[in-house]
Amino acid sequence: MLKPYKAGKPIDELAREKNLDRIVKLASNENPLGPSPKAMEAMKAAIPQVHRYIDPSNFKLVSRLAEKYGKRPDQFICGHGTDALHGDILGAFTQTADEVLTSEGTFIGVYVNTRKHTRTLRLVPMNNWRYDLDAIAEAISPDTKIVYLANPNNPTGLYFTREEFENFMPKVPKDVLVLLDEAYDTYAGEYEDYPDGLEYDFENLIVTRTLSKIYGLGGMRVGFVVGPEYLIAELHKVRLPFEPNHLAQEAAIAALDDDDFLKLTVDTNRRNLKKMQEQFDTIGIEHLPTSANFIMLLLPSEQCATDFFQECLNLGLIIRHLAGFGIPNAVRINSGTDEETEFALDVIAKVYPSIIDKYRNTIAQSN
């Protein structure tokens, strides 16, 4: 049965349900600092022109992206967020009988998009919470048309290395498209062995990136695809002509120039992830290392994770239960501002011990 994508619980919805005065949302990997100040100014300046249809070629935004990343403009296409672009990629390069191959425990959006387009979704088990690129290569069949890779992976936060990626790509048949989703590339780019997808020129590789995360434009929906010109030309045949919208494009162009905001975001993320990891170690919550702006916490069981998630909600902390991602005993929490992080850690320090005690008592009674 087709199931819709379920986003993290909105703040307003929780406020209505619980009548809470203080709510902190750390469920959707958003930038806690908000949008880039330059982006906000650009949107204000652009408002008088919202009665005009946009240039379907996104000339200004595509030109800025090409300049920033040292590529040709015809290697880019922009869209209403990477989810929409992933749907366009499926529409352009697959047919009903075709297969999309990816990993268990990866971004739920690709599961939803694949099933929505009535394509076959095939999953390869993770290896110690990481993409198993060797196993994925071996699993490619004549029906496989797209291999989806998220690097770093959402929700585990782990990445595959440059060496692993470069060993993987030659194993992929030329008629199989590799879709490399780099939603968290700026965070992971701090690691020397992280493979920047834009440095490669494989003819069957396309890379998607978003301005929703580190650039703080989640509500504006701006994503882009980078790839060989002949693949981008095919995407133009299926993409809706007037996206992203006018304000979103102007915000994106300005945000791409806001290096100070980017640095502040990275520094804030690094500082608050460290606080989180230290407290999780102190109180004994199992968690994975991360190269993004979130941490995946592992609980002893699905029920334990469900209770933990719900009790955090009851105290005003919105995190993400990962049952929909295929990891029912896990939750994900992203870094916040200094104040939001302290609030979250206070809530977790109250909730986790009681949840674990309840879990242990349940186990003891069943035995």
11-34+259-366 and 37-255 share one CATH topology? no
CATH 2.102.10.10 holds for 11-34+259-366:
no
Where are the domains positioned within the chain? 11-34+259-366, 37-255
For 152-193, write each residue's pLDDT tens digit: 999 999 999 999 999 999 999 999 999 999 999 999 999 999
Distance of alpha carbon 331 from alpha carbon 127, whole angstroms: 19
The confidence score (pLDDT) of residue 221 equals: 94
The confidence score (pLDDT) of residue 9 equals: 62
Report, at the CATH architecture level, how domain 37-255 is classified: 3-Layer(aba) Sandwich (3.40)
For 331-367, write each residue's pLDDT tens digit: 999 999 999 999 999 999 999 999 988 887 666 555 4
The confidence score (pLDDT) of residue 267 equals: 97
Distance of alpha carbon 9 from alpha carbon 67, whole angstroms: 37
Element (H, E) at 330: strand 330-334
Residue spans of the chain under pLDDT 70: 1-9, 14-16, 18-19, 361-367
Q: Is 326 left (phi over 0), alpha (psi -120 to 50) or beta?
A: left
Distance of alpha carbon 33 from alpha carbon 253, whole angstroms: 18
The confidence score (pLDDT) of residue 363 equals: 64
Contacts of 341 (CB under 8 A, 6+ apart): 272, 275, 276, 335
The confidence score (pLDDT) of residue 367 equals: 47
Report how far Cα 325 is from the mean position of its chain's Cα atoms. Answer: 12
- Give 118's strand partners: none
- Residue 221: phi and psi, rounded to 5, are 60, 80
Q: Is 341 left (phi over 0), alpha (psi -120 to 50) or beta?
A: alpha
The confidence score (pLDDT) of residue 357 equals: 83
Burial class (CB in 10 A: 0-12, 13-18, 19+), 200: middle
What pTM was estimated for this model as a whole?
0.93
The confidence score (pLDDT) of residue 15 equals: 65
